[in-house]
Structure 1
């Protein structure tokens, strides 16, 4: 497995790392964060003394795979107590989209909040696409900022399937330049114009080993990080989280191996990383939540969060997701 540690090695290292960190060192409240709805694809945004968490809303019934119509946002000031701000935008608010409120991320720019999300485009541009919405506050309401998709399937012709243009991550560098990365099987990156609703230059492929989907860009010190859902189809059944680092946002990207194993009972996993109140956190999701008579499943996931720690050389310490199955009463 070139560029990646074995999962056994990762779990061994993670156990040692967890043992070396005091439990009170920024440990958040119990997982999952939300227990009255099924949520997925977490995307944190820190604004002052508040962390906002944008999620998808899983509404799959029985054996449905994904039924997602809207995006939600929650906020916290202490990583233990979360406020539900309700839906902030629905897929139908993108008039050119027809379904699938998939993974998203919000970012602050120009004194406003820009929200990037993956949807299914209508027949004028078949396949998955990425839209951008805007609001004056982090809790919305958000509206379509462009009236058209920012990225469509025909803009990335290398892919062999219609859902490669999903899971946007947005990042603003120290020089004020903003970037967007996205993809499924192939990972792409492009610079954004200062208006945040147009690309400013070519689309470049930066696919790291075993990249599946769900990229997340962040920076710590002088090092850039590309964290993503990975899948070695030769040996793994479910997605893990892996990452790569680079000296510049344009690369070259060096694979650093696994950060986590799979989310419990979940084929998919989706990283989100934030620095809040002086500490780093990794967000993900699993399918270990049961609400009433609905058990977790591929289309009924639950967002989680864990402390994240770095080694002296900038590598991230492996994270163990130690969540057991959680059952709640309907709506409780």
Structure 2
């Protein structure tokens, strides 16, 4: 009888070990794509241990943004926010009212600010919390940048950058018909919606859209996408400057991320960069393999690294990265 009980205990223990090992194996990496579903143009913030990912819902935007929350990039929860929506953000200058390509930042006043494309114009929202409630940051409930504000510039893909001294900047701009991309930039006043000066064009070499600013060791890295978002030409590039407005020196190993069929990666682009435990990460979208008349995209995560001279190393698309240590 005792032998039988011991055998039963041993079997239970072995099953528990097996289950634990299986669970650990499943969480050995953060897999790509990081979440089921079709999303693009991600931005990310972290608040009280939770990552908030805001993104375009494919195909080509919806009546609201996609919002995902996670603590570990393994388990995700889908959230909904009240702003922006097609009903709340429309104007005669917008060629459509699809919501896409957000940028969210926590400002020095402790509030969260969202810069998002609605059609072909940029709107600014404000909230006390990452999930809202949100409202238009402009008292008159108008777009921050109208669709016809700057001739030749497709006024989408805004990115807010807050420097180490607390000064905020806004970058945005694309081109039309997949050519002649323009990158605009301006300082923001403390209210985060008033321009401190006149916007200027700072377009770096081989730029089309999706600017994203990163500062590291006193250098400014203006990162961006080039090519067509609908095919394999889409790629991520960067340029380095000593000020938030340049002038720019094209990245040494450009493009740093591009189509790599051996790693099932087509048309990677429109990314954001963040750090966790001292490591830089790049969150971007790639084209999901499909036979569709339109493009569906999915979110991926990879490590971002630098050489000793400050150049960004080429990124090899991976199946995933190691889980974040807590």
TM-score range, shorter chain: 0.7 to 0.9
1:42 positional shift: 0.7
Residue 103 (structure 1) shift: 0.6
Q: TM-score, normalised by structure 2?
A: 0.77
Paired position in structure 2 for 1:114: 113
The answer (yes or no) to whether the contact 1:100–1:119 under 8 Å persists in 2 is: yes
In structure 2, the residue corresponding to 1:258 is in which secondary structure? coil
Distance 1:73 1:297, change over 3 A: farther
Residue 181 of structure 1 contacts residue 189 of structure 1 at CA under 8 Å; is this kept in 2? yes
Partner Cα separation in structure 2 for residue 296 and residue 222 of structure 1: 45
Partners of 1:95 and 1:158 lie apart in 2 by 21
Match of 2:235 in 1: 240
5+ long unaligned stretches in structure 1: 1-26, 61-65, 121-127, 325-332
Do structure 1's residue 93 and structure 2's residue 88 form an aligned pair? yes
Which residue of structure 2 lines up, in the alignment, with residue 171 of structure 1?
161
Cα-to-partner distance string for 1:279-330 (whole Å, 9 max, x where unaligned): 211011112267xxxx677442111111111111111111122459xxxxxx
Higher relative contact order (CA 8 A, sep 6+): 1
**Match among 144, 153, 167 for residue 150 of structure 1:** 144
1:230 equivalenced with 2:226 (yes/no)? yes
Cα displacement (A) at 1:227:
0.7
Shift of 1:29: 0.8
Q: Give a deviation string over 1:128-166, Cα, whole Å, max 9, x none.
A: 11000111111223222221111123322244xxxx111
TM-score (norm 1): 0.75
2:148 is the counterpart of 1:138: no
Q: Quick one: distance in 1 between partners of 2:86 and 2:274? A: 26
The superposition leaves residues 91-148 of structure 1 with CA deviations (integer Å, 9 ceiling, x where unpaired) of 322243651112111001111111100112xxxxxxx110001111112232222211
Runs of 4 or more consecutive aligned structure 1 residues displaced over 4 Å after TM superposition = 263-268, 295-298
Q: Which has the higher strand share?
A: 1
**1:187, 1:39 → 2: CA distance?**
24
CA contact (8 A) 1:28 1:306 kept: no
- Equivalent-residue separation in structure 1 for 2:286 and 2:45 (angstroms): 20
Q: Secondary structure at the match of 2:87?
A: helix
* Number of the residue aligned with 2:11: none
- How large is the RMSD of aligned CA atoms in angstroms? 2.7
Structure 2, gaps ≥5 residues long: 1-27, 175-180, 321-326
State the secondary structure of the residue aligned to 1:92: coil
Write the distance in 2 (CA, Å) between the matches of 1:222 and 1:93: 40
Q: CA 1:69 to 1:297, structure 2 compared with 1: closer, same or farther past 3 Å?
A: farther
For residue 315 of structure 2, give the secondary structure of its aligned residue in structure 1: coil
Aligned length: 275
Residue aligning to 2:194? 198
Max Rg structure: 2
Alignment of 1:25-174 (within 5 A): 29-35=30-36, 37-58=37-58, 60=59, 66-89=60-83, 90-96=85-91, 98-109=96-107, 110-120=109-119, 128-146=120-138, 147-159=141-153, 164-174=154-164
Q: Secondary structure at the match of 1:217?
A: strand
